[in-house]
Structure 1
Amino acid sequence: MGPEMSLSKEALVNAKRKMELLDNEDKELKNNFDAYIYGKVKDWLYTDGEDVSTTEFQKHLDSLKCEVDDFFGV
């Protein structure tokens, strides 16, 4: 389809619907990712991390930052 051809109204509506579905899926995946990360950190904070020293907190934070940076290629 060249730049001079236009889409029908139905095709535009369908394309918009598909984009909205993808956007909703993207939001859901982001929410799931956020909940998983938050849950893991929260679990550690209120169980194993409950009575650790400041040094141990810093080690855990540094380790978490490394893992996250590696995951995102930072």
Structure 2
Amino acid sequence: VPLKIVEKLTGPGMSLSKDFLAEAKTKLQALDKKDEERKRTAEFKNNLEGYIYTTKEKIETLEEFEKVSTSEERQSFVEKLDEVQDWLYTDGEDANATEFQERLDKLKAVGDPIFFRLKEITARPAAVEHARKY
């Protein structure tokens, strides 16, 4: 069902000039863009912070972590995590989304191979059992 739209002006009786209206729209768009960037930055910062805490917890609590990495790898990785965590709460306070994502990507470049091995060693017993059935 098409709706009938009727435009009705209310207020002091004067409509906004086209220039003023265009300027107001531009300002609103700029504010919306800033809000989006602020949300994006907060999301990326949260992702980085979450990765740091989750990874540190896994390193400290999972016994399998020792089976898939050397003590030097773990120590180096924890040092990098600590370094980024320190940056996050000092110089990183005013960082933008891109900087947070770059830091996260660097940490994942170190952590992903270890987590891949961890996933493999965790899934191996079930895979072996499944293979034995056939």
Query: TM range, normalised to the smaller chain?
Result: 0.5 to 0.7
Relative contact order, higher structure (CA 8 A, sep 6+): 2
Unaligned runs of 5+ in 2: 1-9, 63-134
- TM-score normalised by the chain length of structure 1: 0.62
Bigger fraction of residues in helix: 2
Match of 2:47 among 38, 43, 50: 38
Structure 1 residue runs of 5 or longer lacking an equivalent are 54-74
Cα distance between partner residues in 2 of 1:8 and 1:18:
15
- Return the index of the structure with the highest Cα Rg: 2
Percentage of identical aligned residues = 27
The aligned length equals 51
RMSD: 1.6
Structure 1 ranges of 4+ moved more than 6 A: none
User: Does 1:27 find its partner at 2:27?
Assistant: no
TM-score of the pair, normalised by structure 2? 0.35
Aligned position for 2:20: 11
Letter in 2 for 1:14: E
